[in-house]
Amino acid sequence: MRAPEIGFGLFILSAPTPFDRAEARDLKRDAAAIIARRFPDAAELYARRGWTLPASIGRVYDSRRAEEALGFRCRTGFVEVLDALRDGTALPFAHDPTYLSPKEAGLEIPAFRL
């Protein structure tokens, strides 16, 4: 086995976050206000599509470690979505307005436990 020699790492692969760690509590309490402060036109851009900004964001994933160690960076993030909405170009992802996350659907997802 070469694992001890090679080592290992745990990585979060997600779009780069536009938020700072210091905003975590405020994102949980009033995400729309934090988003509006950073992106003043976001609510209007969303409204044009019939969308609303989230009232609360409970988790923000930081993918910097994957970028630094692996050179991996998602091509699409929140900024790119807003840019597409501003420009009237196609969204940089496939949007399914009927999708409900398992949590929103009331399903329990088993946690990985060691």
Residue 33 lies inside a defined structural domain of this protein? yes
pLDDT band at 109 (very low <50, low <70, confident <90, very high): low
Residue 7 pLDDT grade (very low, low, confident, very high; cuts 50, 70, 90): confident
Domain extent, residue 46, equals: 3-87
pLDDT at 108 over 90: no
Task: Examine residue 114 and state whether it is found in any structural domain, yes or no.
Answer: no
Exposure string of 31-64, with b = 16+ CB inside 10 Å and e = fewer, is bbebbeeebeebeebbeeeeeebeeebeebeebe
pLDDT at residue 23 in the model: 93
Under DSSP, the state recorded for 49 is T
Residue 36's pLDDT is what?
A: 96
Residue 13 half-sphere exposure toward CB, CA atoms < 13 A: 7
Q: Give the model's confidence band at 25: pLDDT under 50 very low, under 70 low, under 90 confident, else very high.
A: very high
The verdict on residue 16 lying in a domain is: yes
Instruction: Give CA–CA dist 87/75, Å, rounded.
Output: 18
For residue 113, being part of any structural domain is answered with no
Quote the mean pLDDT of the chain: 87
69 membership: H or E segment, kind and range: helix 64-70
For residue 95, is it within any domain? Answer: no
Task: Dump pLDDT digits (tens) for 8-17.
Answer: 788 888 898 9
Query: Is residue 108 one of the residues assigned to a domain?
Result: no
Number of domains in the chain: 1
pLDDT digits (tens, 9 = 90+) for 63-103: 888 888 889 888 899 999 999 999 999 999 887 888 887 77
Q: Is residue 112 domain-resident?
A: no
54 in a domain, yes or no?
A: yes
Higher pLDDT, 5 or 22: 22
More confident residue, 6 or 20: 20
